[in-house]
Homo-oligomer: A and B are copies of this chain.
Amino acid sequence: MFNILHRVGIKAPLAKVYEAIATPEGVAGWWTTDTTGGRKIGEMVVTKFYVDGKLLGGFDLKIADARPASRFVWEVVSGPPEWIGSKICFDLKQEDDYTIILFKHEGWKEPVEFMYHCSTKWAIFLLSLKSLVETGIGQPSPKDVRISNWH
C-alpha cells in the first residue's frame, strides 16, 4: 500500500481547524462547495466536483473516526476506483501558535499517475483550508487552483 502525506500549520485554535474538517459546512469552504452530509462516526459526507458547470464526479465518504482534540478520518465508499477503500486521515496537534495537520491519504494499491496528481491537489486543498481558517476565504472547487490538463 502507498500513502500521500502532507504537513500544514494553521495559525488558529485547534477547535476551529477541526470544525473546518469535520463538518460539511467547513469542507464546503475549502474542498468543494457542493458538500453535504453528517458529522458523526458512521455518517456519510458526499462531495461533488464540477468543471465549467458540468459534474465531473465526486466522493462518498464515511466518517470513520471523529475525535475533536486530535483526529478525523474518512473512509472512501464510492468515487474513482483507486480511491475506494482508502482512508483520508487528519491528525491534529498544537505547536507554538499553530495547529499542525498531519494529513495521510492511505491505502493506494499502486502508485499510479492519478496518485501523483491527487498528492499535488491535496496540497492545494490543504492550503485552501489554511487560508479559510486564517482569513475566512478558502478556494474550494470549482475555484481551486488548476495544476495541469487534469485540472
Closest-by-CB residue of B relative to A5 is B116
With a cutoff of 8 Å between Cβ atoms, the chain B residues found around residue A145 in the complex are 127
A113-B102, A127-B147, A149-B96 known; A119 vs B5 contact (CB < 8 Å): yes
With a cutoff of 8 Å between Cβ atoms, the chain B residues found around residue A98 in the complex are 148-149
A142 CB-CB contact with B under 8 Å: no
Assess the A7–B102 pair: CB atoms within 8 A: no
Which residue in B97, B103, B147, B149 is a CB contact (below 8 Å) of A116? Answer: B103
A95 CB-CB contact with B under 8 Å: yes
Closest-by-CB residue of B relative to A98 is B149
Assess the B119–A147 pair: CB atoms within 8 A: no
Protomer copies: 2
Docked complex: A102-151 residues within 8 A CB-CB of B:
102-104, 111, 113, 115-117, 119-120, 123-124, 126-127, 130, 145, 147-150
With a cutoff of 8 Å between Cβ atoms, the chain B residues found around residue A6 in the complex are 116, 119-120, 123
In angstroms, Cα B72 to Cα A24, docked, is 42
A8 CB-CB contact with B under 8 Å: yes
A20 CB-CB contact with B under 8 Å: no
A38 CB-CB contact with B under 8 Å: no
Assess the A9–B116 pair: CB atoms within 8 A: no
17 pairs of residues in contact across A and B, judged by CB atoms under 8 Å: A2-B3, A4-B119, A5-B119, A6-B119, A6-B120, A7-B116, A7-B117, A7-B119, A7-B148, A8-B148, A9-B148, A98-B148, A98-B149, A103-B116, A119-B119, A119-B123, A123-B123
